[in-house]
Structure 1
């Protein structure tokens, strides 16, 4: 049973300072004592970092970004919803950012690819947002959901076939980091061979590393080539539907929306798969629940969306004028960061985070309001079908190292398990399977032997959760 309290009203009440709490502005640029959201403290233990800020500043806290640029990190669940649902006060147009207007963002800043304004729906509001988002949602609606599952099952079979005979694998680099991109390239209408290279580029881009600009350029060049090809030979895919939509997007708008969908879908789905696999392999509460038949895989996914959302921090929103949020004086042009992970554990709505959250989807993982994630059902489908198929293919799956030895990859926008070494009962890979060393840079083929492809004669599949239970 959920311990969540009822949702707070989104009537703007969070925009006023609490009684007796004086409003104040962001400290001066680079002021001592203001924590860096990308610093060692934040990356070592983000949960503790968020709670320290909550104790010191309340629901909204000052932080510094790359280059000691000031921003506000929104920590409260209600305050996050207010920012998400009130575009008249908190715009998605990054050109409003005072740091851009004053020329304080370095040309080579790792924030550039993520925050520089682009002609996409996530950077506009009003009528323009409706036009661009309408093209995206209409095109996504044409995606065959059953087809998504077929792609997921097929690519999961291929990936598992590459390591099935060894009885060991690291499920992060060998599975979680590969599956979403393999599926998304199919949905967008791209050749499979692009997948491995785009995986590296997208992950690097989202980390905001020193090579983020180069990774972004590689992604743009790849998509430009694809857009031109789809103009010549359109197909039944997301890219072709976007190009042919009645909104008549320009080629630049098409390219930027393809980039947006590809990067966002890959990063968030990789993180969701990785963190959910960790949970089902390590959390005794869920192993016990699964044994009793009370916990389903969708329940496990939902718990991860609460506890370890695919994006911990979502940049950004920009204040359209002076206002007050969570007791802090927000100035026009200030940047706000949506603290999704912090808001999901806000004591005001979740007083006991140790209790599983079942049947409640009021988390912030997919945002809310006019910019709510339009492809969340596809991301869930990839994670659900992928993990379900993986666990069914690998009997006796378990960690081969103690849980405390698992490492976590943390950036200022996301957090996920970095390595997940497992063992399982070895299985002979299909004879026709392409060797693992040949999988990179070429189109994959579907494994069709009885060990990996379902047939009418095959007995009913063993429930996935039973693969986690000890065998006598």
Structure 2
């Protein structure tokens, strides 16, 4: 796909980087699924730190590739709003409510879609609720479910640590934190994955999640408990029904998908480097250092949706117009040669990565996610002696969507 220069045809939709999107690179489809890094680098060479792209449905957007430009967008909500109601292509009817982008980019009554005081009110409820839920035994929950997952394959001598471990463990912990039955976990994992993957089924799976969580909120009003759902219901910010369900959805999808993806990548790094593996087993290496490396090189969200230009402005040398959609290339920004000339050099000890976003919308649950990963890795290494990769590292593959790149499988062997 050959990118073209910006089109100044007065008949083109205002703010559309190229008339009708002709010639723009798509961040979805077969090429994006197999070689997202190649796309990022090609766009960087063609456009610099900000590039016009197409999202699913050929919806135009700006992809931020530069580290400093990502920081500028994330740290300046007055210029780059989270309120999708100012998104011009949606407001003017060029993006329909049935678009698979809506579950990821569209406006909802949650803190991610707000700025200023409304954001502070809602985020405060989420932060307080997460702290209360985590304080009631997050380590115990992770240890319990990690051992339960391992029990299913411990006597076999082999496993796929993606499908047998990383894919479901975070959701099992979240079901306990939310006050959901553990049996709901598998269905919610599938639906959360489909929302991020996009496609025709994204909206149906989003509705399934909302229905499950709405029923949960109704139960918890009648039968409160020591869980995140009850904490939101009882918070002094007095969230209404839609706000409660929207925040349950937000935390569930964001926490599960990012934590499961990050756990798989941490295990991949550990198992493809014997020195790291032996260092963790012997206690000479701290797992948090490995997590930090992964957050620089393969952050759990490759592209973060979305910001909307609050006025005409310039970003990375590109003329951004009011109402334009901007998506943040976290992976591309983390390997920006302007701040990281040699991407092979370890960034251990440097926490300035973009993996958790930054600014007022920085991830409020990052400590919980890191705790889940650190405990999950520790339990796994102590339960499975002689743990090793069952295939050459070069045979490990990933599949990407617009928003993330997920490890397909991680086959291992161990002593029984």
Into which bin does the TM-score normalised by the smaller protein fall?
A: over 0.9
Which residue number in structure 2 is paired with residue 275 of structure 1?
265
Which residue, out of 397, 402, 409, partners 1:407? Answer: 397
Which residue number in structure 1 is paired with residue 290 of structure 2?
300
CA–CA separation in structure 1 for the residues paired with 2:282 and 2:333: 31
Taking a change above 3 Å as real, the CA distance of residues 240 and 23 of structure 1, as seen in their structure-2 partners, is same
CA–CA separation in structure 1 for the residues paired with 2:351 and 2:399: 26
CA–CA separation in structure 2 for the residues paired with 1:55 and 1:145: 47
Which residue, out of 335, 353, 362, partners 1:345? Answer: 335
Which residue number in structure 1 is paired with residue 12 of structure 2?
none
Per-residue deviation, 1:110? 1.0
Question: Residue 341 of structure 1 aligns to a residue in which SS?
Answer: helix
Residue by residue, what CA displacement relative to the aligned partner does 1:99-138 show, whole Å, maximum 9, x if unpaired? 1011111343211211221100000101111111111111
The yes-or-no answer on 1:102 pairing with 2:92 is yes
The 5-angstrom pairing of residues 3-402 of structure 1 reads 26-145=16-135, 147-283=137-273, 286-287=276-277, 295-402=285-392
Taking a change above 3 Å as real, the CA distance of residues 307 and 410 of structure 1, as seen in their structure-2 partners, is same
| Conservation of the 8 A alpha-carbon contact between 1:36 and 1:63 | yes
Taking a change above 3 Å as real, the CA distance of residues 392 and 291 of structure 1, as seen in their structure-2 partners, is closer
Taking a change above 3 Å as real, the CA distance of residues 289 and 141 of structure 1, as seen in their structure-2 partners, is closer
Per-residue deviation, 1:45? 1.4
CA–CA separation in structure 2 for the residues paired with 1:23 and 1:64: 15
CA–CA separation in structure 1 for the residues paired with 2:222 and 2:280: 51
The yes-or-no answer on 1:419 pairing with 2:414 is no
Residue by residue, what CA displacement relative to the aligned partner does 1:268-293 show, whole Å, maximum 9, x if unpaired? 00100011111100135635765896
| Conservation of the 8 A alpha-carbon contact between 2:134 and 2:368 | no
Question: Residue 166 of structure 1 aligns to a residue in which SS?
Answer: coil
Question: Residue 374 of structure 1 aligns to a residue in which SS?
Answer: coil
Unmatched runs of 5 consecutive residues or more in structure 2: 1-5, 9-14
Per-residue deviation, 1:23? 12
CA–CA separation in structure 2 for the residues paired with 1:23 and 1:377: 45
Taking a change above 3 Å as real, the CA distance of residues 29 and 145 of structure 1, as seen in their structure-2 partners, is farther
Residue by residue, what CA displacement relative to the aligned partner does 1:235-277 show, whole Å, maximum 9, x if unpaired? 1111101000011000110000000000000000010001111
Taking a change above 3 Å as real, the CA distance of residues 93 and 307 of structure 1, as seen in their structure-2 partners, is same
CA–CA separation in structure 2 for the residues paired with 1:209 and 1:275: 25
Residue by residue, what CA displacement relative to the aligned partner does 1:388-439 show, whole Å, maximum 9, x if unpaired? 111110111111112222221211110121111111012xxxxxxxxxxxxx
Question: Residue 142 of structure 1 aligns to a residue in which SS?
Answer: helix
TM-score (norm 2): 0.94
Per-residue deviation, 1:387? 1.0
Larger-Rg structure: 1
CA–CA separation in structure 1 for the residues paired with 2:79 and 2:144: 46
CA–CA separation in structure 2 for the residues paired with 1:107 and 1:138: 32
CA–CA separation in structure 2 for the residues paired with 1:218 and 1:420: 29
CA–CA separation in structure 1 for the residues paired with 2:186 and 2:169: 10
CA–CA separation in structure 1 for the residues paired with 2:333 and 2:284: 27
| Conservation of the 8 A alpha-carbon contact between 1:313 and 1:340 | yes
Taking a change above 3 Å as real, the CA distance of residues 106 and 144 of structure 1, as seen in their structure-2 partners, is closer
TM-score (norm 1): 0.83
Taking a change above 3 Å as real, the CA distance of residues 166 and 382 of structure 1, as seen in their structure-2 partners, is same
Question: Residue 164 of structure 1 aligns to a residue in which SS?
Answer: coil
CA–CA separation in structure 1 for the residues paired with 2:278 and 2:368: 29
CA–CA separation in structure 1 for the residues paired with 2:349 and 2:169: 27
The RMSD of aligned alpha carbons is: 1.8
Range 79-88 or range 42-51, more displaced: 42-51
Residue by residue, what CA displacement relative to the aligned partner does 1:321-363 show, whole Å, maximum 9, x if unpaired? 0000110000000000011000000111111111111111100
Question: Residue 323 of structure 2 aligns to a residue in which SS?
Answer: coil
